[in-house]
Amino acid sequence: MEEQKVLTLIQEQEINVVNSMIKGQEKERQIISEELHDDLGSNFATLKLHIENLLHNKKLEEKGKKEILEKSCALLDDAYQKVRDISHVKSMGMVAQKGLVLALEKLGEQISSKGNVEVHVDVFGFEKITGNPLKILLYNTIQELLTNAIKHAKASQINIQITQHENELNVLVEDNGRGFAYSGKTLENGMGLYNIKNKIEHLKGTFIVDSILGHGTTININIPI
């Protein structure tokens, strides 16, 4: 009877854990659904009106067309930022559920499956990283660098290497894209890289960019642990 009571208690605990996970996932889906409907929905509805105005209003002068195009670009930029914000929230759940390494491997597989870009992820060590905030920062950082390499550098191959040393974590992201003439001013103009650099330096880490026009880009990140 005692054994049966223990088994029943264990089963009840397992059911409670599963129910909690399901509730958490449903809440996350509801938040994302509301964000998509309320924010992105209004953005795209307004964008559709702008496009219809361009297509059907024959009386529009060049100045009016330019203003509509500028407003449309601003709406697209805003929508892109909102999608990224939602993606970052989703990535927190991904990292918490699968762990950083599996989450990165999944991200690499998703990008590679599209056929245009090949992503390789190699991880060496990785026993001491226990804090989720650092893991989420690393995931979002690598996700941002992948986006830059594909969108701006037009890379077809990206290698990600994460190595854990005694007191330091090293992240190396290399691509075979078109590269750029790197300078401190270039970094400031590219807000994505600039923000990443600030976050890494806030952790007393270093963010080094090695890029030559026409010869790809290597980004080397070191974070003390």
Domain holding 179: CATH number? 3.30.565.10
DSSP state of 40: I
Residue 181 zone, left/alpha/beta (φ > 0; ψ -120 to 50; rest): beta
Check if the beta carbon of residue 213 is closer than 8 Å to that of residue 181.
yes
CA atoms within 13 A on the CB side of 36: 9
Check if the beta carbon of residue 35 is closer than 8 Å to that of residue 86.
yes
pLDDT in tens, the chain (225 residues): 666 666 666 656 655 544 554 455 556 556 566 655 556 666 777 888 878 888 888 777 888 888 888 888 887 877 776 676 656 555 555 565 457 788 888 888 888 877 788 999 998 876 555 556 778 788 888 888 988 888 888 889 999 999 988 888 999 999 999 888 776 665 655 557 788 888 888 888 999 999 888 889 999 999 988
Residues 19 and 120 in one domain: no
| pTM, full prediction | 0.58
Residues 83 and 143 in one domain: no
Residue numbers of the domain that contains 205: 99-224
